[in-house]
Amino acid sequence: MASTRRERARDATTAEIKATARALLVAEGPDALTVRAIARTMGLTPAALYRYFGGHEELVTAMCGDVLDEITATLEAARDTVGLEDPMGRLMAICRAFREWSLAHPREYQLTFASMIDKPLVGPGSDQGEDGIAFGSVFLGVFAEIWAHRPFNVPADDQLPPALVLQLREFSARTGEILPLGVLVAYLSGWVRLYGAVTIEVFGHLGFALADPEPMFEAMLADMRRAMTTPVS
């Protein structure tokens, strides 16, 4: 990609900045993620960083992109731990990997997944951002696998609220129309449940009742499986 020497050096510095920022984030928390601190630990003047980033916000946005790439790779690796003959197992592997990564990287999680839409909007496939789509397609892909392998009981289109059907049609068109709307509902519900379970645990908002939420997480996964293995009636 980077042909000329200059471009290579520039990319290296950019990477070093992001790496330093990342290290600062995990070591000192989000409040320490400051332009001046990054410059300081790199032996640079704060002003110098503005040759590489438009400002503080742009820098953390770039970091979110990196995080999203990293977690996408992690999920794919976890997914490929399980063979294609067991797509449900692949989904479970993804979910568990998502939880474990998030618990191991709470700061990054907060930055990337628990920010308002003001900031970089992400989900499993975000409006803006290529990284987001990649992240989302990992999930969507395995749902397609599951459906192809063994269809389960999903509501027919005319059993869904009309308002929902309209939105799902749009979403389906955007994602290649590979799945029935009912499967998209399962996909979205699954993502919402996973996101919620992980977020509440990362924030510690379950500590009032459970010191170790893992069994509850597994129970949620079991319920998710149950919903997706009801035979077609």
Partner DNA sequence: TTGTTTATGCGAACGTTGTTCACTATGCTG
Partner DNA sequence: CAGCATAGTGAACAACGTTCGCATAAACAA
- Residues lying near DNA in the complex (CB under 7 A): 4-6, 9-10, 13, 32, 34-37, 40, 43-48, 50-52, 55-57
Q: Rounded to whole angstroms, how far apart are CA atoms 147 and 162? A: 23
Q: Rounded to whole angstroms, how far apart are CA atoms 115 and 111? A: 6
Reduce the DSSP state of residue 153 to 3 states and report it: coil
Token look-up 């920022």 returns 21
Binding-site residue total for its own copies (CB under 8 A)? 55
Q: Which stretch binds its own copies (CB under 8 A): 4-12, 74-82, 85-93, 195-203?
A: 195-203
Among 68, 122, 154, 183, binds its own copies (CB under 8 A): 122
Sequence-ordered list of residues with C-beta below 8 angstroms from that of 136, at least 6 positions apart, any chain: 123, 124, 125, 126
User: For the chain, what is the total number of helices (H) and then of strands (E)?
Assistant: 10, 0
Which of 125, 17, 131 shows the shortest CA–CA distance to 65?
Answer: 131
Task: Give min distance, CB of 33 to its own copies, in A.
Answer: 14
The site partner of 156 among its own copies, DNA, none (C-beta below 5 to 8 Å per kind) is none
Task: Give min distance, CB of 132 to DNA, in A.
Answer: 23
Task: Give min distance, CB of 107 to DNA, in A.
Answer: 16
Q: Does 29 bind its own copies (CB under 8 A)?
A: yes
Is residue 123 left, alpha or beta, with left meaning phi > 0 and alpha meaning psi from -120 to 50?
A: beta
**Residues of the shown chain interacting with its own copies in the complex, contacts defined by CB under 8 A:** 29, 106, 110, 113-118, 121-127, 132, 136, 160-161, 163-164, 167-168, 171, 184-185, 188-189, 192-193, 195-197, 199-200, 202-212, 214-216, 218-220, 223, 227
